[in-house]
Structure formats: C-alpha cells, structure tokens
A and B are shown apart, each in its own frame.
Chain A
Amino acid sequence: MSGANRIAGAGRLTPARKVRFMFDGEIYTGLEGDTLASALLANGVHLMGRSFKYHRPRGVLGAGSEEPNALMDISRDSARRQPNVRATVQEVFEGMRAGSQNRWPSLAFDVGAVNDMLSPMFAAGFYYKTFMWPKVAWQKLYEPFIRGAAGLGVAPDEPDPDHYSSRYEHVDVLVVGAGVAGLSAALAAAMSGASVILCDEQAGAGGALRYDTDVTIDGDNGYDWAQNTAAKLTAMDNVRVLTRTTAFGYYAQNFVALCERVTDHLSDPHPDLPRERLWQVRAQKVVLATGAIERHMVFADNDRPGIMLASAARAYLNHYGVAVGSKVGVYTANDSAYAAAFDLARAGVSVPAIVDTRDAPGEGLLSTAADLGIDVMTASAVVGAKGRRRISSMTVEGGRGKTQIPVDALITSAGWTPAVHLYSQSRGKVVWDPETERFLPGDNVQASVSVGGCNGVTGLQETVDEAIAAGRSAALGAGKSKRLSLRIEAAGAIDWSGGMSGSARGAGADSTAKTFVDFQNDVTAKDIRLAVREGMHSIEHVKRFTTNGMASDQGKTSNIHGLAIAAESLGRQMPEVGLTTFRPPYTPVTYGAIVNHSRGKLFDPARKTFSHAWSTKQGAVFEDVGNWKRAWYFPRAGEDMHAAVSRECKTVRETAGVFDASTLGKIEVVGPDAAKFLDLIYTNGWQKLAPGRCKYGIMLREDGFIYDDGVVARMAEDRFHVTTTTGGAPRVLNHMEDYLQTEFPDLDVWLTSTTEQWAVIAVQGPKARDIIAPLVEGIDLSNDAMPHMSVREGKICGAPTRLFRVSFTGEPGYEINVPAHYGQAVLEAVWKQAEPLGACAYGTETMHVLRAEKGFIIVGQDTDGTVTPHDAGLGWAIAKSKPDFVGIRGLKRPDLVAGGRKQLVGLKTKNPETVLEEGAQIVADPNQPTPMTMLGHVTSSYWSPNCGRSIAMALVAGGQDRMGDTLYVPMPDRTIEVEVTGMVFFDEKGERVNG
C-alpha cells in the first residue's frame, strides 16, 4: 500500500508502480508520479516543516510551484543535495532522501518554537528596532545571533558533480503554460505553420485540468484531451513541447529564459544527461497562458498543518488519488472551493461543513451540497483552528453563533489571483479591474499576449476561443498564415471569479490573533497594519518592512492579501496603493543552470603562449597575466623564488637570458597615411623615423594621461610594427580603430591585430649576439649595421623573422619575432646555443626586476590613469612641433601643468636590506598625528641582486624637487626611512645596451 490515505480508484497514478523514499529518516512508499507532498499526504504526514521565524509547525498549502511551507532538503547522494526544494514540485524517485528544515532537534519537537511564544517581541521591524545598541554588541552578540537564525535550509558543502546544459532557440511563437489555454493557443499557432515551443512547469500537460475533473473538451474528459493534444503537438515537426520546464524570466525583445529539470525526478539518471537545461528562447511572439493562483483565507491560526488550498486538495484527490483528510472542513469566499468539497464527498470523505463568507453562493451549489449531505454555513467565518501538529477542529462564527467543528483538514479559497508575473517581467503595467477586483495585464509592451486565467478570463469556452485567436494571431504576426480551421468545444468548469482579499472576519484590525498572510516569511495581518501605523505608506516600503512577499515563493499567495490589508489600513483603494513589481525568476533557479558550463576550466579561457610546453619542461612556475599564463621564474633544484630570481637577474647581466615576450600586444599599422596616423595617436613624431629603426612611443587619452606605451618599428615607408603592453593590446586597438573610423576617417590606414601571429623570443645580455649569430641568415648583426633600436627582416633557423635589436633590460639584446608556428623550433635552437654559454631562461619576475634596475616604467603599475608623461619623467617623448595628437589639449589643462603633482621617482631605503611593500604610503613627517598627510605611494619595489640592495619606484608629490630628501614609509610595525633618488639604479649612463 502506498499510504493509508490513498483512495482506491481515485487519481491517475498506477498503484503497482511503487517508489520507496526516505523522509526524516523513515522509509515511506509512494507511487511513480507522486510529488513528495502527495506521497507524504498519502501516508498521513501533514507536518512537513517549521516556519522561518516562529518555527510554527507547517503542512503543505498548495500542490504546485506556489508552495510557501513545505520546503525540503532533497538528496540523491552526499554531493547531490539541495535545500529549499518545494515538496509540491519534487517528484519522488526510488532512493530519494528528503528532510524537513528549520527545526532542531526534530520536526515534531523543535526548540526554536520558543520564538512562537515570544512572538510579541518579533513583530515586523524587530531587527531594525532591537539590534541598535550598544555598538560593541554587534560583533559579539547580535551578528552571530542573527547569522545563526538567518538562512533557510543548509547549503550543500560538496562540489556539484552534475553538469548542466544550455540551448539557444529561435521560434515564431513561445507558449508558456500547457493548460487549456496554452494547449489551444499552441495548437492554433502550430497548425498555422508557426514554429512553436510550448512549456509547462508541471510534469505533464493539463494545468488546472489535473484537478478539475468536471471539464469536457471535444467530448473527452478535459485531462485526457490535454494529454491527447500534447501528444499531437509533440508529433508535429514544428513544435517542441517541454514539460518540467519553467519560464522563469522574461527579458527585453521577447527573450525568455526557461529552465528544464531533466533528471531530478529520475532514480537512476544516465550520467550523460544534464541535470537541468537552460533554454534561452528568442520568440517572435509570446503567448502567456500561466493561469491563476488560488489565495488562502486569512484567519486566526490559518497555518495549522492540514489547512490548505481547496484546489490543492482537489489535485491530491483527482490526480494523485490521495484524500487530504477523513473529515475535511471547507472555508471559502467563492464558488470554486465547492467543487473540491463535492469531489471529496463523492470519494467518500466526510465533509462536515462548507463555511462561506457570502450570503448566497453560486447557482445550484446549495442543492448539490444538500444532495451530498454537506452542511453549508453561509454568511459565516472560520475564526480559529486548533491542533498544533495537525488541525483538530475549526471554530465557526455565523448565523448559528459560535461552534467548534472537529476536522482533520481544512481547505480554503479566498479567490484566484491571475498569474501576471511574466507579463509584469516583460515590463507591462498591470491594471486594476474594479469589477472583479483583480490586477490584470494592461497594454502589451513587448510582442506578447496573455490568455485565459492570467488574463482574467473565467469562462472555459471564452478561454479556448481567446487562446485560439491569440495563437493564430501570433503565427500571423510571425509571418505564418497556413489556413486554419480549428474549433474546440469546452464545457463544465466552475466560474473562478469572485472571492475576497485581505483579512477575513475575526482577523480585523482589533484582532491580536496570528493570521498569516505570507506563510514563508511568517508575516501576519497584524504586521502589515503595524507597518502602516509606523509610516510605511507605499506598498514597496510595507513589503520591505514586513518582508511580505520577499521569501523564495515571492508572495504568489500573499501579495494581494498584503496589499488589501495595507490599503484598508491606509483607508485607500488597492490600485492607489499599487502592486510591487514582479522580477525574475518566477520560481527559484539553481546556480547550476545559470552558471552552466562556465565553471572550472571553462569559467575563463587560459591563453598559453607558444613556449608553454618548453617552459613547463624547464620547470617554470607560471603566473596569470590577464588571461595569459606566463612563465614567472624557473627554479632549479633547491631554489626558492628569491634564489631563482636572483640567479636569473645576475645571469642575464653577466651572460645572457632567454625570455618569452610573445604576450606583448602587436598591431600592424599599414597604409600611405600610417606615419600621419601614428603622429596623431602617439605623443612622439613618426614622420622622420627611418625604415629599419624603432622608437619608444607613448600614447595618451584625450585628457592627457598616459594610456599605453611600447616600441614601434618602421618596417617600410607605409608599414609599422606597433607593440603595446600585454594587458593593453585589445583596448589600444579599440582606441586606434575608434580614432581612425570616427575622427580621422580620411586617413588611408589599416590596423590589424598580430599579437598571436608572432612568437617573440627575447635574448638579452652581453652574449646575446653570440647566441643568435649562428642561427641568423641575411642580417648583419654588427653594432654598426644593426645598432640598438633597429629592426631587420631576414631568416633565423630558416624561418622568416623580424629581428628587433631592443632592450627592456638595459643589456644588449634582441627580440626575435617569428611566425607563431615556428616559435617552438626557433626557441629550442636558440636554447641549444644559449645553454652551453651559461645563459638562463628567465621569467616575468626577473624581467620586472631588470627593468626596474633601469628605471623603465610599466604602464598600469607605475602609472594609474592620472599620470602624465611629465609626471613619469618622459616629457622628452612629447613632440614639440606637432599641431595635433590625442591628448595635446588635455596636457595643457590647469591641473596638469600645476606644481606639486605626483611624480615618479626612485626610492632607496636607508637600510639596503629592507624591501618596501608595493602600495605602501609615503609621508614627510612620521610623527604627525593621524590621519597623516600622504605624499604618494610605492609603485614598484624589488630586491635588486645586481645592485646588492633594495630598489623602489614611487609616485611622490613634487617628487622631482625632492631628490636626496629623506621621506618615511609608515608600516603597521615600524617606520621605514627612504631617500628620494633618480629612477635609474644600474648602469646610470646606459652604456651597456650598446655593447
């Protein structure tokens, strides 16, 4: 038996298909197709959780995604565990483990329930008012307390072993919701020739037809019609039917995100299957057929386990074959709950009373009730409910006075709220319909249309007709106009209009009872009234003060009640108070679905240079530079980083070193106006640079600050080989393209990124020429023929090369550019020459130290976007006679020519062993009171093996006028004395480079 409350012959599940699962350590049996909620109810379990704030025992409220109470921790194994899963959505599978949340030590006995007794303390705004003082209590007392109490469920602590997939789809028509309306619209659109996606969050099609068994469509029972229609649609080539798929976000230009739950209902999913699939759908037209959500009645202790929505009880009975109780009371303000009562009575469940707030229920209901022996108490109200872990009785007040009626379940309906969430997400503004007292979709802002329940249509035939017309029109709008002859006859549903919103009788402003509006966040009618009394007059403020509608169910059942109570307290009409805005997601979405493939190695691509394998073999330690993996240093046996870098630094200056400089940005600037263009982009002049020569160039932004720098070689009259900083390559090209396309479009120039086309092997040091000479053909390497800052084309190891004689070390050296696919072969050949001569491979750390020894700046490290060439000591690089270049006017701005600007200088610590920290602040007087006047900061700092001392560069206010001064670098544990110096620490005359 799959539970004592399963009624033989009722529901659509197959009794033979049993599924065993665990709930709070006990093994239960359910049926295939059960949700966790229906399976537990079948076993007589109503107590499914504890509420967030008061830890009150809670049962299930609904039978769908609107569920606020029955949140569970669901696991398949230790890594596949997810908290806060709605028991009404999770389907049971063999071996599933479910656990209740927010209780300790057990669901039945929960220590936190003391909060319920202390509830007068925990009114709305409690946190804002209570945790105010003393200040020190925050860290020690309040924060740990709040953190301990906050959060619902326990986050998984193992990496998610599942994978998730992502699909993009373009369709003519997307239909959201596969109830009567959605199916009809999809059929009309598809038969008109449109490509269609029909999605529904439930496991199958049907929507309200799952529980409304009175409907007949085209001669079939409504649910059967839905299954047949879904099957018919699935068989069509132009239709994709997606079940267990929630349209959770409606974005600009009809971009709708769907999340398909692929394996969460399977006991043994194939490992190749993704757990979820994210569909990003761009639709020409969107048809919203999302139906309506039933509201609960707001009365005292309306959260007792066993109290649930009437439609939910009907779904449990008619779909799952489960009776929610043996003695079921009914409390309603509209007609639709009667159908649930009748279904239960016909299934043999005792229905002692229907309590109706109205004087006169709809036509024929009273006589049917009488036929079934159900007592209808009109103009009455349920004013209380007893039974802590399960309702035991309801207290009714009405024409017959106050009576207590024993029940073990109570089903309620205050009416139906059109599900306008996606319409609202599409930026549509809902409109108040005074006649039916509902918010309905107004004008469509995007190419979408709402049909059926979510559009406030209540008649079944009207719904079908409207949906067919909408489906047809959507197809036509997408340009698909196949002849359509479609007529669907539908009959039998009860009218869903009418009802009430706000608190019911006995729960008015004078009441102190706990009348829950928002179950998940424990917000009562009293809290909302308190918020209004305390000055929250906008619904947005009421929402934030009380947290009504802010839980993970986003107030699907509570928003309208909350609004009605706020409006009543304010003495205003509901539309004047306004509705809060609905935002994505409609229901919670896993991080897995959103992050999808973008994790681990696929989170961000790693760029590897041609030498990566070679450097790895040489024992390199790599560092990340942007997306690049660059060899950082090459430790030998027994060496730490310091020892390796010291050895590399000395070896380069004494012998030679080999370095991969490929990540430097490279741009080929070609065309008759190339020199003219570079004149405008760089501060320097380029017209006079002879082919075969190189020059260091600086480019500015229009505001006069340094943007990038690098060596530029003139290959020919009309061809330049530009290099940029490693990190600056894309933005420099963008900057150049911008000016070329939009400001100087008359110049005849082409720009091409060649960063990845060239492998660059730097060979630096006194023996650099000896190393490469045997490999080079067709280039005279002598100092006279090829001096410092020149470039030649020829061959190396048979490969074409652009050979640069340039130096970022201050040593004589070359940068061998070869097409990238020759890189490794040339590098290996170079290394074969270099190694016997005692040269080393060196990495970026040594490169940094060597350049700092020479006072060469790194843009972005020694400059920060507020440094001019003058500030950096590079004023010589600004051409005096050019009429224009980018930044020419910015450089003349008053602040940029004023005295006292921060300027780059060198720093030497008084104690040569002390190495400063980069970023450390610099002051003139270390004894001044804090906050001290800071003169600047250290931008680069290293131990220099070649100088035998520490060296540093710093931006210091008026630095160039402070040469020789003593300044101070205050650190947490000491103050370091430094002397301001020039920036060149090694080979001050710069003679070595020509050697």
Chain B
Amino acid sequence: MLLIYCPYCQEERPELEFAHAGEAHIARPTNMADISDEEFETFFFIRSNPKGLAYERWRHVHGCGCFFNAVRDTVSDKFLATYKTGEPKPDIDSLTKKGDGK
C-alpha cells in the first residue's frame, strides 16, 4: 500500500484514503460549446498514458475531500511530488535528482 502526501492536509496518508482521478493539467475549454470535433477529441479522449513520469489527479476522498495533482513514476509507483490544484507543473529535473538513490 502506497503512502500519499496530501498537499492540503500536509500529511502522508495511506492509499486507501485516496481515489485516482485521471490525467492532470487537462483544462476544460472555456468556450466548450463552440469547440471543434478535433478539439473535443483532444480534450476528452486523448491521454498521454506514459511509461515513466505521469501527471495525474488524485482526490483525498476519505480525508479532506480535496482534489490535487501528483507526479508519479508509473514504473516504480513512486510519487515524486504532490501539489495543489491550480499550481503549475513542478520542475521534473529537480524532482528526479532528489528522488534518486535513497
């Protein structure tokens, strides 16, 4: 079972308290009604599904209830960072250096 740091509670909590919520940093278009089929496809269907570092959304559903973002390595399952909704993507290079060779 993973431990996940909730950036709102500022505490590491067990995975059981959280729910995965898909890829992060996909903003809903503000002119939703007017976008083209291609734009809708990109927004709704296309996901990066990387092997390696993934930006994803999690919800501390059985805790504070907040949605937040995380950088997780899909190979090792290791969380490199979690941060609040609306904050920019963290710098990957600095994270990977810090995360190495524990």
**Partner-B contacts on A (CB < 8 A):** 251-253, 255, 280, 282, 427, 443-447, 702-703, 734, 737-738, 741-743, 745, 883-884, 888-890, 893-894
CB-CB nearest 4 A-B residue pairs: A743-B28, A741-B67, A888-B33, A889-B32
Q: How far is the CA of A445 from the CA of B59 in the complex (A)?
A: 27
Q: How far is the CA of A709 from the CA of B59 in the complex (A)?
A: 24
B3 at the interface (CB under 8 A from A): yes
With A741-B66, A888-B32, A889-B33 known to touch, is A734 a contact of B59 (CB < 8 Å)? yes
Q: What distance in Å separates the Cβ of B70 from its nearest Cβ neighbour in chain A?
A: 14
**Contact between chains at A427 and B40 (CB < 8 Å):** no
User: Which residue of B21, B40, B57, B61 contacts A889 across the interface (Cβ within 8 Å)?
Assistant: B40
**Contact between chains at B3 and A741 (CB < 8 Å):** no
The binding surface of chain B is classed by DSSP as loop
**Contact between chains at A703 and B44 (CB < 8 Å):** yes
What are 28 residue pairs bridging A and B, where the CB atoms are less than 8 Å apart in the complex?
Answer: A251-B1, A252-B77, A252-B78, A253-B1, A253-B2, A253-B3, A280-B1, A446-B102, A702-B28, A702-B44, A703-B44, A734-B59, A737-B59, A737-B65, A737-B67, A738-B59, A738-B67, A741-B66, A741-B67, A741-B85, A742-B67, A743-B27, A743-B28, A745-B86, A884-B32, A884-B33, A889-B35, A890-B40
Residues of B within 8 A of A890 (CB): 40, 44
User: With A702-B44, A741-B66, A743-B28 given, can you name 11 additional A-B contacts, CB distance below 8 Å?
Assistant: A251-B1, A253-B2, A253-B3, A255-B1, A444-B102, A702-B28, A734-B61, A737-B65, A742-B67, A883-B33, A893-B40
Residues of A within 8 A of B65 (CB): 737
Residues of B within 8 A of A745 (CB): 85-86
| Binary per-residue interface labels of chain B (60-93) against chain A in the complex, 1 for a CB within 8 Å, 0 otherwise | 0100011100000000111000000110000000
B11 at the interface (CB under 8 A from A): no
The binding surface of chain A is classed by DSSP as loop
Q: How far is the CA of A890 from the CA of B102 in the complex (A)?
A: 47
User: Which residue of A280, A738, A893 contacts B21 across the interface (Cβ within 8 Å)?
Assistant: A738
Q: What distance in Å separates the Cβ of B94 from its nearest Cβ neighbour in chain A?
A: 21
Residues of B within 8 A of A737 (CB): 59, 65, 67
**Partner-A contacts on B (CB < 8 A):** 1-3, 19, 21, 27-28, 32-33, 35, 37, 40, 44, 57, 59, 61, 65-67, 76-78, 85-86, 101-102
Q: What distance in Å separates the Cβ of A676 from its nearest Cβ neighbour in chain B?
A: 15
Q: How far is the CA of A743 from the CA of B57 in the complex (A)?
A: 13
Residues of B within 8 A of A280 (CB): 1
Residues of B within 8 A of A743 (CB): 27-28
Residues of A within 8 A of B67 (CB): 737-738, 741-742
Residues of A within 8 A of B37 (CB): 893-894
Q: What distance in Å separates the Cβ of A685 from its nearest Cβ neighbour in chain B?
A: 15
Query: A477: nearest residue on chain B (CB-CB)?
Result: B102
**Contact between chains at B85 and A742 (CB < 8 Å):** yes
Q: What distance in Å separates the Cβ of A729 from its nearest Cβ neighbour in chain B?
A: 14
**Contact between chains at A282 and B61 (CB < 8 Å):** no
Residues of B within 8 A of A446 (CB): 102
Query: B19: nearest residue on chain A (CB-CB)?
Result: A734
Q: What distance in Å separates the Cβ of A980 from its nearest Cβ neighbour in chain B?
A: 32
**Contact between chains at A445 and B40 (CB < 8 Å):** no
**Residue from A703, A738, A742 having most chain B Cβ neighbours under 10 A:** A742
Q: How far is the CA of A280 from the CA of B14 in the complex (A)?
A: 12
Residues of B within 8 A of A742 (CB): 57, 67, 85
Residues of A within 8 A of B102 (CB): 444, 446-447
Q: What distance in Å separates the Cβ of B46 from its nearest Cβ neighbour in chain A?
A: 13
Q: What distance in Å separates the Cβ of B61 from its nearest Cβ neighbour in chain A?
A: 7
Q: How far is the CA of A738 from the CA of B101 in the complex (A)?
A: 36
Q: How far is the CA of A897 from the CA of B25 in the complex (A)?
A: 30
Q: How far is the CA of A252 from the CA of B44 in the complex (A)?
A: 32
Q: How far is the CA of A282 from the CA of B78 in the complex (A)?
A: 16
Q: How far is the CA of A253 from the CA of B77 in the complex (A)?
A: 9
**Contact between chains at A252 and B2 (CB < 8 Å):** yes
